[in-house]
Amino acid sequence: MPIEETLVLVKPDGVARGLTGAILARIEAKGYALVDIRLVEPDRETLERHYAEHEGKPFYEPLLEFMMSGPSVAIRLAGNRVIEGFRSLAGTTDPTTAAPGTVRGDFGRDWGLKVQQNLVHGSDSPESAARELEIWFG
């Protein structure tokens, strides 16, 4: 059983809406281990590194602005195949159509929604996880 680590962010909308606890409850119920957790207020440079793969895309600037709109919670999370497992728990990127039972499907609001307001981030590969954990936890 490959024990992995991944980076999870509860994004500014999740923190502002008071959903951090509900999201952590799902993570803990799944059995994942919290290795480290902290409240973060990233500067633009940190976010440019984190979202480097999306530079130049139409949603890039609004995404960075949104991520600087308030604090996030950064979590170093460990577990068996946790990289893929957390993304399954999070649901697909657009909350409008994310499956019920997922964080984005259950908590993503249908009204006034922007795709970037999808509550959580999870690394998408072992390479991304290593890179992102270095950015957020050093």
Question: 20-79: which residues touch Mg ion (CB under 5 A)?
Answer: none
115 lies in the site for ligand DAT, by CB under 6 A = yes
Q: Per CB under 6 A, which of residues 48..87 are in contact with ligand DAT?
A: 54, 59, 63
Between the alpha carbon of residue 10 and those of residues 21, 57, 90, 98, the distances in Å are 10, 22, 11, 17
Q: What is the DSSP letter of 119?
A: S
For ligand DAT, the closer of residues 80 and 93 by Cβ is 93
CB distance 47 to 68 below 8 Å = yes
DSSP bridge pairs for 122: 8
Instruction: Provide the annotated active-site residues.
Output: 121
User: 7 or 27, CB closer to Mg ion?
Assistant: 7
118 marked as binding residue: yes
